[in-house]
């Protein structure tokens, strides 16, 4: 049976940097509040590129780094909650832009867990033996889903994209996985509410913006996600020390501080970049991964073990332990 492995990584960020001070100029907020509550200092905000533009830049880099021809790609999955349009999907636009004429392509919507869910699905496609490789990309322009008059959400998010080339391998690289959803708690984090609008329907509300019960999400991350990670490590048979790095969804520094304590692993092993990019939802883990490879902390030579964990809207949460 074939397995899958991450063979290349890439990320792409829009050029425009928006600082906390720039937000304080348009909202009743300040750098001290944002930094101390979240750890975020800057975020990138797209001026003229949509989610598919960011995702396509990642896909092109992955092709260039791997030396693969676009026609040899079997599938493209884009995890996103900020697609340019529902139809065509972001993934279909990426497929056209890079000329991956033999690939099937689709978007996956699982909010901040999107990249982890997509990677797990891609692993199954390759492990089935039916496909040899695929691009798995997390890409967001959350700036378009924000109510820029709402200081409680506008300061938290940013735009960006990251992704990986997944290829078949004779060795097992995805060592353990746990994917979870609790739809009964979905109302604590919402966006893109569509209304019924036919002449035969009752009127219902539509609301494009992100809304969040910050406290509920904070508690969910600390309680449910920490428990999930601890359990996964235990079930995998690995020692905690055997995990070289934790690449968790980049929502908030205080969440990472508390999770590190709950999981009882050294805080330095929890990589972070939310200070530079804010919360980029499905893009946050692959951007962090690609940056960590560029910085040399992750070697991408099969000698390290990392734990990915995404958590957010749905509610969804999922973790993978990966030899990388
Ligand atoms: N600037 C200044 N003051 C603010 C701001 C702001 N940007 N936003 C809220 N406030 C005020 C509130 O109005 C409130 O004022 P009040 O006491 O006069 O009413 C006060 O600050 C405290 O507000 P809280 O919402 O209670 O602040 P809290 O300490 O809970 O921090 C935060 C809010 C940072 C969102 C926190 O709840 C949190 O970290 N939650 C996790 C959620 C998260 O990170 N979500 C990201 C998306 S979800 C995901 O990716 C998983």
- Classify residue 69 as exposed, middle or buried by CB count within 10 Å of its CB (0-12, 13-18, 19+): exposed
| 10-26 pLDDT, tens digit each | 999 999 999 999 999 99
Q: Is the CB of 156 under 6 A from ligand 1?
A: yes
> Catalytic: 132?
no
**Rounded mean pLDDT of 285-294?**
98
> Catalytic: 173?
no
**Rounded mean pLDDT of 91-95?**
98
**Please, which pLDDT band fits residue 33 given cuts at 50, 70 and 90?**
very high
Q: So what's the pLDDT on residue 287? A: 98
**Please, which pLDDT band fits residue 269 given cuts at 50, 70 and 90?**
very high
Q: So what's the pLDDT on residue 57? A: 98
- Rounded to two decimals, the pTM is 0.96
More confident residue, 72 or 204: 72
Bridge partners for 180 per DSSP: 317
Cα of 151 vs centre of ligand 1, distance in Å, is 9
Cα of 155 vs centre of ligand 1, distance in Å, is 10
Q: So what's the pLDDT on residue 203? A: 82
Q: Is the CB of 33 under 6 A from ligand 1?
A: yes
Q: Is the CB of 316 under 6 A from ligand 1?
A: no
Query: Nearest Cα to 225, choosing from 187, 252, 191?
Result: 252
Cα of 67 vs centre of ligand 1, distance in Å, is 45
Cα of 212 vs centre of ligand 1, distance in Å, is 9
Q: Is the CB of 214 under 6 A from ligand 1?
A: yes
- Classify residue 175 as exposed, middle or buried by CB count within 10 Å of its CB (0-12, 13-18, 19+): middle
Q: Is the CB of 312 under 6 A from ligand 1?
A: yes
Cα of 9 vs centre of ligand 1, distance in Å, is 33
Say if strands 17-19 and 75-79 run parallel, antiparallel, or are unpaired: unpaired
- Is residue 1's pLDDT more than 80? no
Q: Whose CA is nearest to atom 30 of ligand 1?
A: 215
d(CA 83, CA 184): 25
- Marked catalytic residue, from 11, 112, 133, 228: 112
Q: Is the CB of 311 under 6 A from ligand 1?
A: yes
The 8-class DSSP code of residue 309 comes to E
Q: So what's the pLDDT on residue 205? A: 84
- Marked catalytic residue, from 20, 42, 173, 249: 249
**Pocket test residue of 218, 222, 272, 285 for ligand 1, highest count of atoms within 8 A of CB:** 218
Of ligand 1's listed atoms, the one at least distance from the Cα of 249 is: 50
- Beta-carbon count within 10 A of 201 CB: 9
- Is residue 291's pLDDT more than 90? yes
**Pocket test residue of 148, 217, 254, 259 for ligand 1, highest count of atoms within 8 A of CB:** 217
CB 62 within 8 A of CB 100: no
Q: Is the CB of 143 under 6 A from ligand 1?
A: no
Q: So what's the pLDDT on residue 26? A: 96
Say if strands 133-141 and 75-79 run parallel, antiparallel, or are unpaired: parallel
**Token match 């996600």: residue?**
225
Q: So what's the pLDDT on residue 62? A: 98
Contacts of 103 by beta carbon, 8 Å cutoff, 6+ apart: 73, 74, 75, 76, 95, 134, 135
> Catalytic: 249?
yes
Domains recognised in the chain with CATH numbers: 3-170 (3.40.47.10), 175-193+204-323 (3.40.47.10)
Q: So what's the pLDDT on residue 25? A: 97
Of ligand 1's listed atoms, the one at least distance from the Cα of 189 is: 48
Cα of 152 vs centre of ligand 1, distance in Å, is 5
Q: Is the CB of 218 under 6 A from ligand 1?
A: yes
| 195-254 pLDDT, tens digit each | 988 999 998 889 999 999 999 999 999 999 999 999 999 999 999 999 999 999 999 999
**Rounded mean pLDDT of 148-176?**
97
Between the two ends of the chain, the Cα-to-Cα distance in Å is 19
**Please, which pLDDT band fits residue 99 given cuts at 50, 70 and 90?**
very high
- Beta-carbon count within 10 A of 121 CB: 18
Q: So what's the pLDDT on residue 320? A: 98
Q: What percent of the chain has pLDDT over 70?
A: 100
Of ligand 1's listed atoms, the one at least distance from the Cα of 151 is: 7
């Amino acid at each position: 049976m074939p397995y899958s492995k991450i063979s290349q990584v890439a990320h792409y960020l829009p050029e425009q940097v928006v600082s906390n001070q720039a937000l304080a100029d348009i909202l009743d907020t300040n750098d001290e509040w944002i930094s101390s509550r979240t750890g975020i200092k800057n975020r990138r905000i797209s001026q003229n590129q949509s989610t598919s533009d960011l995702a396509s830049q990642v896909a092109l880099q992955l092709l260039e780094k791997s030396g693969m021809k676009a026609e040899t790609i079997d599938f493209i999955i884009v995890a996103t909650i900020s697609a340019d349009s529902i139809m065509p999907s972001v993934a279909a636009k990426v497929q056209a832009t890079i000329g991956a004429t033999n690939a099937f392509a689709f978007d996956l919507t699982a909010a901040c867990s999107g990249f982890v869910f997509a990677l797990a699905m891609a692993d199954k496609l390759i492990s089935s033996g039916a496909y040899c490789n695929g691009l798995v990309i997390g890409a967001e322009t959350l700036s378009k889903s924000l109510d820029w008059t709402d200081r409680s959400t506008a300061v938290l998010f940013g735009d960006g994209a990251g992704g990986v080339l997944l290829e078949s391998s004779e060795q097992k690289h995805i060592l353990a996985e746990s994917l979870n959803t609790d739809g009964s708690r979905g109302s604590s984090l919402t966006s893109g509410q569509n209304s019924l609008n036919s002449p035969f329907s009752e009127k219902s509300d539509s609301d494009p913006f992100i809304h969040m019960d910050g406290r509920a999400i904070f508690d969910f991350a600390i309680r449910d996600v920490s428990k999930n990670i601890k359990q996964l490590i235990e079930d995998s048979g690995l020692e905690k020390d055997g995990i070289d790095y934790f690449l968790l969804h980049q929502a908030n520094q205080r969440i990472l501080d508390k999770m590190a304590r709950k999981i009882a692993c050294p805080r330095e092993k929890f990589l972070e970049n939310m200070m530079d990019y804010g919360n980029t939802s499905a893009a946050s883990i692959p951007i962090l991964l690609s940056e960590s490879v560029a910085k040399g902390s992750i070697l991408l030579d099969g000698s390290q073990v990392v734990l990915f964990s995404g958590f957010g809207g749905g509610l969804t949460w999922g973790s993978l332990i990966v030899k990388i």
